[in-house]
Amino acid sequence: MSPRGRALFRFALLVVAAAFCTLSVGGVVTSRDAGMAFADWPLSNGSVNPDGWIRYPDMRSEHGHRIFGALLGTLATVLLVWVWRQRPRRGARPLALAAWLAIVGQGVLGGFRVLENSTHKALLHGCVGQAIFCALVALAWLLRPGERREGGGDRRLRGAAISCVLVLYLQIVLGAQLRHVRGPLESHLLGAVIVFGSVLWAAGLALLHHRDERALARPALALACLFVLQVLLGFASAATLRGQSPGEYTLAQVILPTAHQTTGACLLAVSVVLALAAHVRPASEAARLQGAYA
């Protein structure tokens, strides 16, 4: 890959990092129930830089979320223009455009959530944010340096990985319901059991049959490790939030649920990477076919 291609890939990773920070600070806003720290939008208390926002935790988290969102929008615009001018892998241009449109729509949705004081729009805002993060991760994967191999891949692993993506996103929606509108805990727990089976299936197939293929083995191992961490964070969050008084939050009651949310985003993103990698012919198979036609 040319130096310009590598620079584009690194910039795509920067955009992914900005999306992760935006998602994380948004998680803090939800954990602190600080979504209405400011009743106006796009300004905050009628100002771009409201007085005292650094001193007060609710204002700091909400205004910080808005700042990161604006930064993400700016970086995503630069990325879209850059991708459009380059000649990246097939699918990168439409994905960059879709991600940019989703980020713009996400900002507007967040504004209506505030103006209407709507918890249901806050729920949708959280779910869309997770999808945007995964779209940007997928775009960075498409822009990665390396050989452009032919399609193919393991059909069984591909199906397992796609199923894992869908199950994980449904679980994230159930978790968002629990956090935003006090949805039933039982459905989230049942979802965790289904996620366990899906992760075990996808990661197991990759590690059993493609352990020598780093493009498949690494995301599979990360998927398994992140799932264990996610379960531990889930139990710790539930234990910490038990008996919580409305409007009062300890540091653990903010950090642990937020970490649970962001780890879920990482799980989903890694499952997307595994699904994308499963669509590509493994390097060993590509080399074998090249030798056969030589």
Q: Per residue in 215-245, pLDDT tens?
A: 999 999 999 999 999 999 999 999 998 867 6
Instruction: Provide the residue range defining the domain that includes 82.
Output: 1-146
Q: Clarify whether residues 265 and 212 are in a common domain.
A: yes
Same domain, 135 and 201: no
What pLDDT, on a 0 to 100 scale, did the predictor assign at position 248? Answer: 75
5 and 137 in a single domain? The answer is yes
Residues 63 and 11 grouped into a single domain: yes
Phi (first) and psi of residue 174, to 5 degrees: -65, -40
Asked if 114 and 166 sit in the same domain, the reply is: no
Last residue of a domain, which of 146, 170, 195?
146
146 versus 253: the higher-pLDDT residue is 253
What's the pLDDT score for residue 5?
Answer: 83
Residues 131 and 154 placed together within one structural domain of the fold: no
- Residue 103 sits in the same domain as residue 232: no
| Confidence band, pLDDT 50/70/90 cuts, at residue 293 | very low
The per-residue pLDDT for 137 is: 97
Share of the chain above pLDDT 70, in %: 91
Which residues are within 8 A (CB) of 212 and not within 5 positions of it... i.e. 6 or more apart? 284
Instruction: Let me know whether 76 and 125 are in one domain.
Output: yes
187-199 pLDDT, tens digit per residue, is 999 999 999 999 9
pLDDT in the model for residue 138: 96
DSSP 131-200: HHHHHHHHHHHHT-SS----B---HHHHHHHHHHHHHHHHHHHHHHHHHHS---HHHHHHHHHHHHHHHH
Please calculate the CA angle 123-109-269 and round it to the nearest 5 degrees: 60
> Are 5 and 43 members of one domain?
yes
Name which residue leads in pLDDT, 246 or 183: 183
**For residue 255, what pLDDT is reported?**
95
Q: Among 91, 122, 146, where does a domain finish?
A: 146
**Banded pLDDT at 294 (limits 50, 70, 90):** very low
pLDDT number for residue 230? 97
**Residue-level pLDDT at 148:** 55
Q: Position 58: which residue type?
A: D
Average pLDDT score over residue span 154-158: 88
Question: Do 140 and 158 lie in a common domain?
Answer: no
Q: What pLDDT sits at residue 147?
A: 58
Domain boundary among 146, 161, 177: 146
Is residue 164 located within the same domain as residue 291?
yes
Q: So what's the pLDDT on residue 126?
A: 95
Domain total in the chain: 2
- What is the pLDDT at residue 90? 81
